[in-house]
Amino acid sequence: MNRRRTPRSASAEELLTTLHHLTERARQEVELHRARVELAQALQRGMLPASLPTLPGLQTAARYAPAHHGLDIGGDWYDGFVLPDGSLGFAIGDVQGHDVEAAAFMGQIRIAMRAIAGTEPDPGEVMGRTNDLLVSVGSTLFATCTFFRLDPLTWELHSARAGHVACVWATADGRTGITTDEGGIPLGIAAHERYPVTRHALDAAGAFVLLTDGVVEGPSLQIEEGLDRVCRIVSAHVEASADALADEILEAAGLTGHEDDAAVLVLRHEAAGRRRK
């Protein structure tokens, strides 16, 4: 007669050995996760500009906050640089992806946009050519972005937008608003896209704020509510320094409950008569 053998109970020593192996495996996974986070953060810090350009009558400031949890970092960026004709270029964007790959892709966009803007004065063309370059490399990632060119003689901003969140502005005489640029699709999706250019005249003292969706959208806040809140903050602190205003906006971003990173770029400009050297 065949009898089934009763399974032998694991000894305490075997259980401890199994537990040790599982603990060691979990520790290695945690260390790998931490290493990828630290690498993404290092890439992010290294690719963001150390300083931003200014002009007489113009203050600039930017802030970046990494995600509160996990690997949702590395996708947001901002930039500011002087163009060969003396104009200033400003950009802000968000790679729809995270971790090391997103940080590296962000760096490609920033470098490409700087290089193209150095030879192409039209922001729409800068955006279009950057988009075509990203499509040509065959990445699976894409990005939203806004690019501005500030003319120091006319004090006008000319902008192009690629699927990015709107900008917020306010003036010292009480006006405030959210930009409604037509824009185009995000960068890196389809070649030969067109990006309309919108003109913004900085005709009064005030502030112009570029931001990413981590500032205005999250589990605790819809994007429309977030933009309205930033409008109120900018209006209330429109005469503060660019640094102080950037701090106020980034602090409010924490109330969204977001799990994404967040970036803010502030242009604090004086009235026309006070811009002369």
- Give the model confidence (pLDDT) of 32-89 as tens digits: 656 556 655 665 665 688 899 999 999 999 998 876 554 555 578 899 999 999 999 9
| Averaged pLDDT for residues 198-203 | 92
Residue 129 within any structural domain of the chain? yes
Q: How many distinct helices (H) and strands (E) make up the chain?
A: 6, 10
| Averaged pLDDT for residues 3-22 | 60
Residue 113 within any structural domain of the chain? yes
Question: Looking at the predicted structure, is the pLDDT value of residue 20 above 70?
Answer: no
Return the SS3 of 148.
Answer: strand
Residue 180 within any structural domain of the chain? yes
Average pLDDT of every residue of the chain: 84
Domain with residue 178: its CATH number is 3.60.40.10
Q: Which has the higher per-residue pLDDT, 37 or 169?
A: 169
| Averaged pLDDT for residues 5-12 | 55
Domains of the chain: total: 1
For residue 175, give the H/E element and its range: none
Single-letter code of the amino acid located at 181: D
Residue 87 within any structural domain of the chain? yes
For residue 64, give the H/E element and its range: strand 58-65
For residue 213, give the H/E element and its range: helix 213-216
pLDDT bracket for residue 273 (50, 70, 90): very low
Domain that holds residue 217: 48-269
Return the SS3 of 178.
Answer: strand
Q: Cα–chain-centroid distance for residue 56?
A: 26
CA distance 20 to 3: 35
For 9-21, give one letter per residue: b (16+ CB within 10 A) or e.
eeeeeeeeeeeee
What six digits make up the tokens of 153?
């003689």
| Averaged pLDDT for residues 165-170 | 96
Residue 19 within any structural domain of the chain? no
Residue 159 within any structural domain of the chain? yes
pTM of the model: 0.82
